[in-house]
Structure formats: structure tokens, C-alpha cells
Structure 1
Amino acid sequence: MKCPYCSAPDSKVVNSRPSDDGASIRRRRECLRCARRFTTYERAQLEPLMVVKRGGQREAFNPDKLLRGLTLATEKRPVDPELLRAFAYGFEDEVGASEIGSEEIGRRAMTFLRPLDDVAYIRFASVYRDFDSLERFIEEIRGLKAEGDG
């Protein structure tokens, strides 16, 4: 590790301990040239989950974007915002792959919303499935009613 004081390339670790509930390691280091001490933090850097959009372009998964969509769908509905946050920020860990299609994200979000609130589910589905007519709304609602009766 390069010394921040004299830019020497070598230092030695004097002390190490877990930090941030084990998410990182705090290391006290001493420069071998100037003998000054400094602290570094070490974290695992995981490859980001990549989202493959409908047009084929790729972008890094953004849990804030998913949370925003879920929040809009559940606006003024009796759904705990912490459930939405936990789903959005835990999504990447649940996928278990390095790449996912945007359609699959939508399907999983709908599966998540379905048992929570019918109205939120329909709102999300209308955007995800791009409802273009009243008939599509009615068709989806009939499907929900049929599931509920079964």
C-alpha cells in the first residue's frame, strides 16, 4: 500500500480488525520509509449485476430504480415501505447470476407484489406489460379474480 505522506510503495500492517459488522477490514499500517501510520479499509468488490434491456443494451443493476417503480405502484396503498426496500436492495443477492433480463426483473417484481396488494400489482403490471387499452386492464383483473376464487 502506497504511503499517503511520502508516497513510498511499501508499508507494513500493524493491526487488523473487522469493521462495519464484518463487511470490511480496518488495517493500521506503518510506512517503511517515513514510519508514519495510516489507516486503510478493505472491502470485497463484487462484479455488478448487469441488466440486459429489451433493446439489447446492458447497464448495471440499480436497486434505487427498482425501488422507485415499486414505490410508485404502492403509492397510497397499505404496503410497508420497508418490505419494498428489502426486496429492492436484496434483489441482487437473490439473483445468483451476473446478468438478468429486464423482463425477468419485472416478472419477479410482479411475483413479489401479487400477494401484498392487488391494486399495486395491477399498477405495476400496467407499466411492465404496457397495457394499451381498458380491455387489457379488465383481462388482468379477471385473471386476479380467477386466482382468488381458486
Structure 2
Amino acid sequence: MKCPFCGHNDTQVVETRVAEDGDRVRRRRQCAACEKRFTTYERPDVSFPAVVKKDGRRIDYEREKLRASMNLALRKRPVSTEQIDGAVERIEEKLLNLGVRELPSNRIGELVMRELRKLDKVAYVRFASVYRSFEDVDEFKTLVDEVRR
């Protein structure tokens, strides 16, 4: 593993633990050259379904793209990184459990909305208003009324 501080290729594992969620291994490493420590995580390498966009294009699933869209909706909201990580993990687990090779992008959007609704109602409304491409204020009002109930 390359050191993120000095780029040296010789690092040593000084501690290994199973992460809190049990799905990853957390390793503390130390660089042999600069002696700085850093953390790495290991997770199983699995194949996610290809994402079928609205225009028919097929693209690879990208965890960072999912996380970025959730972070945008959750911007300046009182939700911890750990809560977001948990939501992303749950979405990915559902994607894997579907057992399909391709999945429409709107299905992923629905899973994101479900998780955001549990985490933060404002973030849910933000995401839904963009995701559902609201055309007028009445659609927005209907969504807000639905959240209030």
C-alpha cells in the first residue's frame, strides 16, 4: 500500500479490526519511510448491476456518484458522515440482493429517496424536487404535505 503522505511503497499493518458494520475490515498502517499512520478499509469486490439511464445508455454503477448526490441533498443538514455511510451501505446491499445485471436509474433514485426520508425530511424534499423534475409549485406543495403527514 502506497503512503498517502510521502508516496513510499513500504507500509506495515499495525492493527486490524472488523468495522462497526461488520462488512469491512479496518486497517491501521504505518509508513516505513515517514512513519506516519493512516487508515485503510477493505470490502469485498462485488459486481453491481449496470445502470440504465432514461435515454437508454448503460453506465457502470459508481458509489461516489450516489454519495455525491446524497451529500448535495444533505448539505448543511444535521446528518453525520456515519449515517450517510450507513444509508449508502443499505442501498448497495439492496442493489446486490436484487440479483439483476441491469437496473433502471429511477430504481436507484427511489432507494435514495427512501433512505433520505429516514435521515432528514428537508434533504428528502430537496432530492425529490430535483429527481422528480417538478414543473410547478403545486407538485412541490403536494410533496411537502405528504412529508408532514
Contact 1:51 1:100 in 2 (8 A): yes
Residue of structure 2 equivalent to 1:104: 107
Task: Determine if the alignment matches structure 1 residue 130 to structure 2 residue 133.
Answer: yes
How far apart are residue 53 of structure 1 and its match?
Answer: 0.8
Identity of aligned residues (%): 34
CA distance in 1, matches of 2:51, 2:83: 22
Q: TM-score, normalised by structure 1?
A: 0.62
Contact 1:51 1:61 in 2 (8 A): yes
Residue of structure 2 equivalent to 1:54: 54
Deviations 1:72-124 (A, max 9, x none): 10111111122222332553332222221100101011111112211000000
Residue of structure 2 equivalent to 1:85: 85
Q: Specify whether residues 116 and 90 from structure 1 end up closer, same or farther in structure 2 by C-alpha distance, changes over 3 A only.
A: closer
Instruction: Report the 3-state secondary structure (helix = DSSP H, G, I; strand = E; otherwise coil) of the residue aligned with 1:132.
Output: coil
Count of aligned pairs: 108
Map 1:65-84 → 2, pairs under 5 A: 65-84=65-84
Instruction: Report the 3-state secondary structure (helix = DSSP H, G, I; strand = E; otherwise coil) of the residue aligned with 1:115.
Output: helix
Q: Specify whether residues 45 and 121 from structure 1 end up closer, same or farther in structure 2 by C-alpha distance, changes over 3 A only.
A: closer
Residue of structure 2 equivalent to 1:64: 64
Contact 2:52 2:102 in 1 (8 A): yes
4+ residue segments displaced more than 6 Å: none
Contact 2:113 2:128 in 1 (8 A): yes
Task: Determine if the alignment matches structure 1 residue 144 to structure 2 residue 147.
Answer: yes
Contact 2:49 2:61 in 1 (8 A): yes
Task: Determine if the alignment matches structure 1 residue 121 to structure 2 residue 121.
Answer: no
Deviations 1:52-73 (A, max 9, x none): 1111111110010010010010
Contact 1:49 1:92 in 2 (8 A): no
Q: TM-score, normalised by structure 2?
A: 0.63
Residue of structure 1 equivalent to 2:35: none
RMSD, matched Cα: 2.4
- The structure with the larger Rg is 1
Query: Which stretches in structure 2 are left out of the alignment for 5+ residues?
Result: 1-15, 19-23, 25-43
Query: Which stretches in structure 1 are left out of the alignment for 5+ residues?
Result: 1-18, 24-43
